[in-house]
Amino acid sequence: SCTTTGTVWSFTTETDPNLVVLFSEPFPNFSNWTAVGPLGLTNWSTQPTANAGGTQPELRMSWTPSFNGDSRIRSIVISAPNNTQLFLSFQWFFDWFANPSGTIGIAATYDGGATSTPVWSVVNPTANVGPALVNVNFTTPVAEAVNLQLEVYFSGNSFNNDNIYFDNILLNYQIPV
């Protein structure tokens, strides 16, 4: 219960020079994304809301018009290094309505969507999820990583959810020192 006067300290926060940001998406608009079929092409939009836990605007996949099947959006091409661990973070919120609620996820594709590999997914949540911050990592292939595209997807009956929100998608990697 006493105090001591000492030297005043000051700190400067700097960006890690070994951290490379490949992609940062706060969803000011839909310009970095393309909705791809076969269903739910009109369900994706940016909205002036902050349900995912970030700041507005954010990405929303709406249940309407209702569809049963797959819907995804694909990012612009992200030139990533080969055989490198990437770190993906994002915020999201799932507004549940009924079961089965479907599969929500993010995948990586290196061939324009002909094939994709899920890097994160949630299958049939039975209640609202989030808002939550998600951090995952994945390793790029030994070749063709320069063609990386992220895909945000939903598979199921869109009527069984109210809305799905994503915000602040960040993809980066650490340069080895």
Length of the chain: 177
Tell me the pLDDT tens digit for each residue of 40-57.
889 999 999 999 999 999
User: Residues 95-146: pLDDT tens digits?
Assistant: 999 999 999 999 999 999 999 999 999 999 999 999 999 999 999 999 999 9
- Return the SS3 of 158: helix
Confidence band for 1, pLDDT divided at 50, 70 and 90: low
Strand partners of residue 62: 163
In whole angstroms, what is the distance from residue 61 CA to residue 59 CA? 7
Q: Which residues, listed in sequence order, are joined to residue 134 by a DSSP beta bridge?
A: 90
